[in-house]
Structure 1
Amino acid sequence: MRYQELSYWLSTVDESLTPRPPLPGDTDADVVIVGAGYTGLWTAYYLAVADPTLRITVLEAEVAGYGASGRNGGWCSALFPTSLPALARRYGRHRALAMQRAMHDTVREVGRVVSAEEIDCDWQHGGTVLLARTEVQLGRARAAVAEAHEYGLDPGDLVLLDAAGAAARCAAEGVRGGTYTPHCAAVHPAKLVRGLARVVERRGVTIHERSPVTAIRAGAAVTPAGTVRAPVVVRATEGYTPALPGQRRTVAPVYSLMVATEPLSEQTWARIGLADRETFSDYRHVIVYGQRTADGRLAFGGRGAPYHFGSRISPGYDREPRVFAALRRVLGELFPVLGPEVPVTHTWGGPLGVARDWSASVGLHRSSGLGWAGGYVGDGVGTSNLAGRTLADLIRGEDTELTALPWVQHRSPRWEPEPLRWLAVNAGLRVMFSADEAERRTGRPSRRAAAFARLLGH
């Protein structure tokens, strides 16, 4: 397999992506981590920093960054898949606000480590602008700011923009306003995950690649080549979790796809904006997301690919020509300067993990030593760092502000068996597409989308 072909990001890392040696046979460790993406590597990093004597082994089915960590949109954001109101209903306002502030701190923490460990990953802390291009979307922008202030966030955490203010940051067609938050950085995600892998190795962590785990149980992670025995076993497999025995219904792997243009001229960027490499999206229901890359491309992605029956994952699902064409069309609608004559040079995709209640979680079962984190719903670049720090505290038996956060030890219900799971996930996708179309046609908020919002953690 040519790992460079999996995404634009992996094609532009400055290394060969030659796999590290696989697990040679049975061995022992203090902690074994399944998955060398962000979650697994951040957990290894903070454990190794806290206690350099720990024997930590990371097992990866392919290579570090093979999954979402090497294919995502490059937003290190403070986004959490469960909204403040939903968290407040479940845990109270104080704990909901603590969760959001922890996410704000997380963006700064990732930037601190990137600087301290000299990880060259095109980090730029430029914030996020969400555009409103219709009156309905502008209403959602106003409501988002009012909600943030109602729940106690600072005025600078989410700022309402008028049309001129929004266009000054991102000059998309027909912008009527929007919001801006400073709590996001643009990053080259593959450089981040590959750099983090090298950092943890320097700190004494062992990474075995091309070592697929076929079973996780108390005290052991099993591979075809041997078993790693350890009192603590951490599952950090996100969208690939359903492939493990007994985990088929833990998360639903939903695909997100991306395109990237050729490097654009400075004249073109002057018409688009994003001068501080702000990440950007808008207030439609079907998520789109983009960033200006360090080498001057526009990388743009979104949902729209179907969920596949039985939680199946296949390299063929990374390529959906219909979705790529739709993304290219939306890109041209947002920025007419990017007409059909501007080449798209890269297309790619991959699965992300969605829990049944749309709630990310992290935890450790103390009696069995089994730990887990995931269900990020595409917001994992930042959230995985918070998960890694939290798991490190839990594994070391520390009671901290992080271990008291409301997502810790949360157990999401299992997804329904098939065909109900297939019907539910794909029906939800169709509802959101139809809601955007209805709002465009009528100029009124979609009732169907509002009814579906609770199922999405809002």
Structure 2
Amino acid sequence: MDPYRPVSLWLDQLDEALTPRPSLPGHRDADVAIIGAGYTGLWTAYHLLAIDPTLRVVLLESEIAGFGASGRNGGWCSAIFPASLAKVARVATRAGASDGREAAKRLQRTLHDLVPDIGRIAASEGIDCSFVQGGYLSVARNPAQLARARAEVAEASDWGFGDDHELLDASGVERHARVAGALGGTWTPHCAALDPARLVRGLARAVEGRGATIYEQTTVQGFGPGLVVTDRGLVRAERVILATEGYTAALAGQQRRIAPIYSLMTATEPLPESVWSEIGLAGRPTFNDGRHLVVYGQRTADGRIAFGGRGAPYHFGSRVSRAFDQNPGVHAMLQGTLRELFPALRDVSFTHTWGGNLGVPRDWFPTATFDPRTGLGFAGGYVGDGVSTSALAGRTLAALMTGDDPDALGSLPIANHRSPSWEPEPFRWLGVNGVTAVMTRADASEARTGRPSRAASAFWKLVGE
């Protein structure tokens, strides 16, 4: 049995063998060594080689390309950034931007443009990843969620993005999907549904076609300026890029840089048209509701619903394990939530359950950073919004590394941003799991009373939102 197919619905459905590429055969030299062959590493290689096709680029992957979050996620290619525009503006101002507000707006406009650009690149590279830009529907199912929806649209308008966010009433929601108990919601066109594994596997082939070499089943044991140490040999390179996202904490010296937070998913069997006629989602919009403990879903190209969410525990010491990919209680909760949203699913079967970790920095702010003095770079910390943000990070890293930057990506707020370190244990474990508990109680309280949760509001203020 292929050990990689059970990792996710997406990998299970690939029509290619998941045979690992050869491992690093011993010591070798390169111009650029990239640790990790997920979206971040592959996009970085792709854009580097577009700028300079003569570069010797090596990617080192402990499993296979797309084994991590890139092959397991919800398939949302969105313009969502995990920090608010106000927070982005403050960060940009502290970093020296002359106009922090304009810097935040430029980042958002860049993300808007990035969504269709990823679809264009996939098409140009012959990557059939079922890319459909059907937008993003967020449904309010109680008065507290509806109040947040109104505030979100008002804030978008205040920042000049009013045309990109539509406030919906119940009938407006129904035009996109027939969600039980919908009071209203929001819709934005800046999101596409896709098959994440087909994208990452196709991107791996694209970078190989441009001259990069991917070594799989090669475990990195350490790295520093000019050198990467693996269990298969040494790679000497002028520039070394860390692109390990939720696996970053496994490397020596990186334990407090990124917290690996687990997000789990489930998928229905392919649904008959009689069920789809009750549900909607004809245009394949991605969807969620306005709860604090995030859920997310999409109608897949083969007629399923793939649905995921938070709720799994953070594991002491930032541990990561295949055993954590399955959590019967959380998977049952997700299936129950999906049936609650769409009662037409009451009799359907679920064929897949899976999960994996995503990377969360202490300030919930993604970064792409490169130090020309040491030749070391890092990108990540997407807080679950990495399908598109990783593409921007890879492009930004390529610009920072080469100086070829016609779009001024090096002045975006994510460029060379430094997040603070997470607290040492046990405070990290207590804090992360405490937030999950607070958000769970907040959602229950809002569903019961219809009033916004004070505890949740206090938390968002605490993290600077």
User: How does the TM-score come out when normalised to structure 1?
Assistant: 0.98
Task: Name which of 367, 378, 382 aligns with 2:373.
Answer: 367
For the residue of structure 1 that corresponds to 2:410, the secondary structure is coil
Match of 2:49 in 1: 48
Shift of residue 14, structure 1, vs aligned partner: 1.1
Which of residues 387, 391, 404 in structure 1 aligns to 2:397? 391
Q: Which runs of 5+ in 1 are unaligned?
A: none
Q: Is the 8 A contact 1:359 1:457 kept in 2?
A: no
Q: Secondary structure at the match of 1:29?
A: strand
Displacement after TM superposition at 1:88 (Å): 2.1
SS in structure 2 opposite 1:305? coil
In structure 1, the residue matched to 2:233 is: 226
Which of 414, 417, 423 is equivalent to 1:410?
417
1:180 to 176, 187, 202: 187
Q: Which residue of 2 aligns with 1:60?
A: 61
Contact persistence 1:357–1:455 (CA under 8 A): no
Question: 1:152 Cα shift?
Answer: 1.6
* Secondary structure of the structure 2 residue equivalent to 1:58: strand
Question: Matches of residues 62-81 of structure 1 in structure 2 within 5 Å?
Answer: 62-81=63-82
Partner of 1:377: 383
How far apart, in 2, do the equivalents of 1:303 and 1:456 lie? Answer: 18
- Determine if contact 1:73/1:291 at 8 Å carries over to the other structure: yes
Farther-moved stretch of structure 1 (162-171 vs 415-424): 162-171
1:406-455 Cα deviation digits (max 9, x unpaired): 11111111101100000000001111111111111221111110000134
Deviation at 1:209, TM superposition (A): 0.3
CA contact (8 A) 2:51 2:404 kept: no
* C-alpha deviation, 1:65, in angstroms: 0.2
Code of the residue aligned with 1:104 in structure 2: it is H
| Aligned partner of 2:361 among 340, 355, 363 | 355
Pairing of 1:16-55 with structure 2 (within 5 A) = 16-55=17-56
> Are 1:358 and 1:455, in contact at CA under 8 Å, matched by a contact in 2?
no
Distance 1:404 1:142, change over 3 A: same
Would you say 1:255 and 2:262 are equivalent positions? yes
Q: Does the alignment pair 1:310 with 2:311?
A: no
Runs of 5+ unmatched residues, structure 2: 93-99
Check 1:15–1:38 CA distance in 2 against 1; reply closer, same or farther (3 A cut).
Answer: same
What is the number of equivalent residue pairs in this alignment?
456
Letter in 1 for 2:401: I
Deviation string, structure 1 residues 133-154 (Cα, Å, up to 9, x no partner): 111111111100000110122x
> Aligned partners of 1:270 and 1:404: how far apart in 2?
47
Preserved CA contact (<8 Å) 2:157 2:163: no
Task: Report 1:2-21 matches (<5 A).
Answer: 2-21=3-22
Q: Secondary structure at the match of 1:332?
A: helix
Aligned mates of 1:456, 1:102 — CA distance in 2: 24
Distance apart, 1:271 and its partner CA: 1.0
Moved more, 58-67 or 392-401: 392-401
2:97 — aligned with what? none
Rounded to whole Å, the distance in 2 between the matches of 1:174 and 1:456 is 31
Contact preservation (8 Å) 1:127, 1:181: yes
Q: Which moved more, 1:78-87 or 1:291-300?
A: 78-87
Instruction: Write the distance in 1 (CA, Å) between the matches of 2:14 and 2:164.
Output: 33
| Range that drifts further, 245-254 or 389-398 | 389-398
- CA offset at residue 457 of structure 1? 5.1
Deviation at 1:89, TM superposition (A): 2.7
Counterpart of 1:88 in 2: which secondary structure?
helix
Amino acid at match of 2:46: Y
Helix, strand or coil for the counterpart of 1:148?
helix
CA distance in 2, matches of 1:126, 1:440: 28
2:307 alignment partner, SS class: strand
Structure 1 residues 457 and 387: alpha-carbon distance in aligned structure 2, compared to 1, 3 A threshold: farther
Structure 1 position 129 matched with structure 2 position 172: no
Match of 1:345 in 2: 351
| Comparing 305-314 and 103-112, the one that deviates more | 103-112
What's the CA shift string for 1:362-410, capped at 9, x where partnerless?
1101100001100000000000000111011111023442110011111
* 1:330 corresponds to which of 334, 337, 361: 337
- Looking at structure 2, the residues matched to 301 and 168 of structure 1 have their Cα atoms a distance apart, in angstroms, of 23
78-87 vs 421-430, which moves further: 78-87
1:337–1:98 CA distance, 2 compared to 1 (3 A): same
SS of residue paired to 2:58: strand
The answer (yes or no) to whether the contact 1:81–1:457 under 8 Å persists in 2 is: no
Question: 1:255-313 deviations in whole A, cap 9, x for unaligned?
Answer: 00000000001111111111111000111111000000000000000000000000000
- Secondary structure at the aligned position of 2:146 is classed as helix
Counterpart code for 1:453: W
2:152 maps to amino acid: A
Q: Give the 3-state SS of the residue equivalent to 2:413 in structure 1.
A: coil
Structure 2 Cα separation of the partners of residues 440 and 132 of structure 1 = 11
Runs of 4 or more above 4 Å deviation: none
Q: 1:176, CA displacement in angstroms?
A: 1.0
Alpha-carbon distance between aligned partners in 1 of 2:214 and 2:91, rounded to the nearest angstrom: 38
Root mean square deviation, CA, Å: 1.0
- The code of the aligned residue for 1:405 comes to L
Query: In structure 1, what is the equivalent of residue 96 of structure 2?
Result: none
Partner amino acid for 2:31? Answer: D
Using the TM superposition, give the Cα deviation of residue 90 of structure 1 relative to its aligned residue in structure 2, in angstroms: 2.8
Q: Is contact 1:88–1:96 with CA below 8 Å preserved after alignment?
A: yes
1:144-191 deviation line (CA, Å, top 9, x unaligned): 0000110122x3311111111111101110111111111011000000
Which residue identity does 1:261 align to in structure 2? T
